[in-house]
Amino acid sequence: MLLNDFIKYKMHIKKNENTRSAYYLDLSQWLKFQFNKLDVTAQELEDVQMSDIINYTDELSGRAESTKARKTSSIKAFYNYLISQKHVKESPLEHLPQPKLPERDPIFLTADECRELVDSIDTVSRSNKIRNRAIIVLLINTGVRVSELVGLKLKDIKLKEKKISVIGKRDKQRTIPITNSCIKVLEEYLESKDIQYNDYVFTNTHKKPMTRHGVWEMVKIHCKAIGRPEVSPHKLRHTYATALVNSRAPLKQIQRNLGHTDIRTTDMYTHTYESTMHDVVENSPLSDIY
């Protein structure tokens, strides 16, 4: 089946289960809409016209623009694969304009909200308080992705050198400096556990490595407790980046810490600095001179 061949190809390239699930979901929905089946021939795919794709995107009305853009991108990637394998000659999406996504300011926590979030662990967490504190402090102070955090092993933590190493997207390794607060919570957590050199650092109550979903749920519970239910672990990554921008850290260094391939992705955080600077200028003792 061509769909399965494509998924296997993508897994070989990216080796990411989330990537597999996202592509399969997007493409299976489109194939069922277009053909009412998943197992389609190359000729059937060759016969698809741009108008068919437009009909499908119209069917998605009511969905977020980002969702429509992602689903269209998945179909485009599928056709690029089919062309590379000589199953079809051209893509019906070749001249289809990409939907313009509205620019959205990243959601983040203030420094006071971050302190409140960490303090909530003592009252909200029923168990694993030391672990939960270490996780939240690390997320806030390193900006790591949840997938990178759950993949941390003891050998990746260098407390004396004040750094951790993580494996990011496309299996790229990067080193991130850690703060004294990170060192403190990690020392406390590691002293409470019997962890070997090659063991995963963060485990659940069954002594199995924590899952992305497990971390997500734990963080969401604590964010809800401080009145910010919309904040997820990824928003703590935004929080870290925003704090660095407002501290005047070089954008290139922020890019390296976050593991962004394109600095334009990092540039999205500069709006917060511009907003902060506007308040600073307005409150300047010179601002009322005219």
Asked if residue 90 is part of any domain, the answer here is: no
Asked if residue 194 is part of any domain, the answer here is: yes
CA distance linking residue 229 with residue 149, whole number of Å: 21
Q: Report the pLDDT value the prediction gives residue 286, as an integer from 0 to 100.
A: 46
Distances (CA, A) of 189 to 128, 215, 220: 10, 16, 21
Residue 12 among the catalytic residues: no
Q: Which of 68, 71, 235, 260 is catalytic?
A: 260
Torsion angle, CA of 74/40/45/32, rounded to 10 degrees? -50
Extract the residue ranges of the chain whose pLDDT is less than 50.
284, 286-287, 290
Q: What is the pLDDT of residues 245-280, one digit of tens each?
A: 888 888 999 999 999 988 888 888 887 666 665 565
CATH of the domain at 139: 1.10.443.10
Q: Report the pLDDT value the prediction gives residue 79, as an integer from 0 to 100.
A: 95
Asked if residue 30 is part of any domain, the answer here is: yes
Asked if residue 251 is part of any domain, the answer here is: yes
Residue 169 among the catalytic residues: yes
Q: Are residues 159 and 204 located together in one domain of the fold? A: yes
Q: Are residues 163 and 72 located together in one domain of the fold? A: no
Residue 220 among the catalytic residues: no
Mapping DSSP onto H, E and C, the string for the chain reads CHHHHHHHHHHHHHCCHHHHHHHHHHHHHHHHHHHCCCCCCHHHHHCCCHHHHHHHHHHCCCCCHHHHHHHHHHHHHHHHHHHHCCCCCCCCCCCCCCCCCCCCCCCCCCHHHHHHHHHHHHHHCCCCHHHHHHHHHHHHHHCCCHHHHHCCEHHHEECCCCEEEEECHHHCEEEEECCHHHHHHHHHHHHCCCCCCCCECCECCCCCECCHHHHHHHHHHHHHHCCCCCCCHHHHHHHHHHHHHHCCCCHHHHHHHHCCCCHHHHHHHHHHHHHHHHHHHHCCCCCCCC
Contact 122, 129 (CB under 8 A): yes
Q: Which of 76, 169, 193, 220 is catalytic?
A: 169
Amino acid at 260: H
Q: What is the pLDDT of residues 129-148, one digit of tens each?
A: 999 999 999 999 999 999 99
Q: Which of 47, 67, 84 is the last residue of a domain?
A: 84
Q: Which of 153, 184, 234, 271 is catalytic?
A: 234
Q: Are residues 133 and 32 located together in one domain of the fold? A: no
Asked if residue 36 is part of any domain, the answer here is: yes
Residue 9 among the catalytic residues: no
Q: Are residues 20 and 164 located together in one domain of the fold? A: no
Asked if residue 54 is part of any domain, the answer here is: yes
Residue 87 among the catalytic residues: no
Residue 206 among the catalytic residues: no
Q: Are residues 69 and 167 located together in one domain of the fold? A: no
Q: Are residues 195 and 122 located together in one domain of the fold? A: yes
Asked if residue 139 is part of any domain, the answer here is: yes
Q: Which of 84, 119, 153 is the last residue of a domain?
A: 84
Asked if residue 100 is part of any domain, the answer here is: no
Q: Are residues 236 and 128 located together in one domain of the fold? A: yes
User: How many structural domains are present in the chain?
Assistant: 2
Q: Which of 131, 237, 238, 240 is catalytic?
A: 237
Q: Are residues 225 and 186 located together in one domain of the fold? A: yes
Q: Are residues 175 and 274 located together in one domain of the fold? A: yes
CA gyration radius, the chain: 23
Range of the domain at 32: 2-84
Q: Which of 68, 131, 145, 222 is catalytic?
A: 145
Q: Which of 47, 68, 84 is the last residue of a domain?
A: 84
Q: Are residues 140 and 274 located together in one domain of the fold? A: yes
Q: Are residues 69 and 144 located together in one domain of the fold? A: no
Q: Are residues 61 and 150 located together in one domain of the fold? A: no
